[in-house]
Structure 1
């Protein structure tokens, strides 16, 4: 005889009641499954952005200073970035943690912060869970004093469906002489090698401070990284500066299975990310343009 946990035999009313509750739970479970499947099928949208400390550029523009003084910059950044429905964003030259947190909240995102060896921290933001963050994840030893003075960090983003995406957030040294970057990159590749060999999906996002015609760029490509702009971009893809772009130094690179799914990559030379050349008082959110990459 079937019984409940608290009384005697089930009545017809009990059976109808339990059937209704069960049907509702089944329907709710079905809706959740459909939503999860739909989210998993959506493109993954990634933005690399050197945000210039979120102070606006050029700094001598009165309106930029006023917007900063009025505390408007977090909302301005969040609102402009939200137009592109990003899933993952990387900030180089990140602002204070208070400002970064406010932007993350405005976007409905989680975030982790990567301290700088100098005064240029990084922030990784995602609407998905971020786990296992590590700052300057060298294979062995401590960070050399003269390396990674901007930032380099690693974390794992938990994608819908339980997939994991290893993300390296980086801002390399800006010196015109490449020696420092050519010492930084081999240390980074050594740290990445285990995941590269395992064929894990990985992203390298940030201001790498070198153009595609350099030894530094060649090191990434030879190691197995795919430049999303080279794969799916059009034109020259210049990312700096926000009035008249002249160089491409901001990247979203991919490795592993995700590198086969690149469908779009372009700098966002539009909206509040650029200045208005006909208005001497206009300002951009940063001196860099964001680099957007989309994966199916």
Structure 2
């Protein structure tokens, strides 16, 4: 069943497919993944096997099978593929999804095992989206967790310019939108490709606002997320605020399996140029 909300500019879909991993979800950890999926076309783009997999329509299966190994409850896509590809991935994972249109050509998608009860695209406190901001994507959704708890999830992909000017205009507008929920102490996640490293002013804005970087809190090593052959930067995040921030157990990039390139194989390709960032909460 599909439902369209023209006001929010987002699409909600519910799949009737059974979960691949049945369990009493109320007793299980919450597992989330933030992943810039590079339109689900494989990386590097010039690898013949990757081009063949895309041409044969194998990418929805490949993404779904690889992600399913980590038993995710919530997944965030940056640089999301065409909607029909998202629908196939969601169907295979037995997930609902909401799609966040882009100000350019880089939509986002939030997928959830649990019900998505509302969603807003670019939820500014006032006014319309400035034409030069949020040209990738930013959206907000509320996920209803087992037991009735609500989780506010912000899905984001910030501007990639080497200069921080655009991001330093985007982030304060986002924090303004988040402020009531932050003040109320609601459980919140911020997931996505934020296109900045942890040593810059943009990162400090998040921390000063009350967000907790899950990797900084419980991760090990450098946590590099790009690129999938030889990672050298950390720009993909799962941040948390409110009670859920105190329950993080694990946070790490998935430099493994089909998410990475085997540099010893000249034909090897990864599912994307980014690595997924996994976070697990009690």
List structure 1 runs of 4+ shifted beyond 4 angstroms: none
C-alpha distance in 2 between matches for 1:104 and 1:190? 31
C-alpha distance in 1 between matches for 2:278 and 2:221? 14
Q: Deviations over 1:23-75 (max 9, x none)?
A: xxxxxxxxxxxx99x42121000000000000000000000100000000000
TM-superposed CA distance for 1:203, in Å, is: 0.1
Q: Deviations over 1:114-141 (max 9, x none)?
A: 0000000000000000121100000000
Q: Is 1:224 the equivalent of 2:179?
A: no
TM-score normalised according to structure 2 size: 0.92
C-alpha distance in 2 between matches for 1:263 and 1:135? 30
Q: In the alignment, what sits opposite 1:275?
A: 261
Q: Which of the residues 118, 139, 150 maps onto 1:153?
A: 139
Q: In the alignment, what sits opposite 2:154?
A: 168
Q: Is 1:262 the equivalent of 2:258?
A: no
Q: Please give the root-mean-square deviation of Cα atoms over the aligned residues, in Å.
A: 0.9
Structure 2 counterpart SS, 1:66: helix
Superposed, 1:24-35 pairs within 5 Å as none
Q: In the alignment, what sits opposite 1:209?
A: 195
Structure 2 residue runs without a partner (length 5+)? 1-21
Q: Which of the residues 267, 276, 280 maps onto 1:290?
A: 276
Q: Which of the residues 157, 181, 205 maps onto 1:195?
A: 181
C-alpha distance in 2 between matches for 1:295 and 1:239? 20
TM-superposed CA distance for 1:288, in Å, is: 0.1
Q: In the alignment, what sits opposite 1:92?
A: 78
Structure 2 counterpart SS, 1:81: helix
TM-superposed CA distance for 1:217, in Å, is: 0.1
Q: Deviations over 1:227-258 (max 9, x none)?
A: 00001100000000000000000000000000
Q: In the alignment, what sits opposite 2:68?
A: 82
Larger Rg: 1
Flag the structure with higher helix content. Answer: 1
C-alpha distance in 2 between matches for 1:207 and 1:149? 13
Structure 2 counterpart SS, 1:123: strand
The count of aligned residue pairs is: 261
Flag the structure with higher strand content. Answer: 2
Structure 1 residue runs without a partner (length 5+)? 1-34
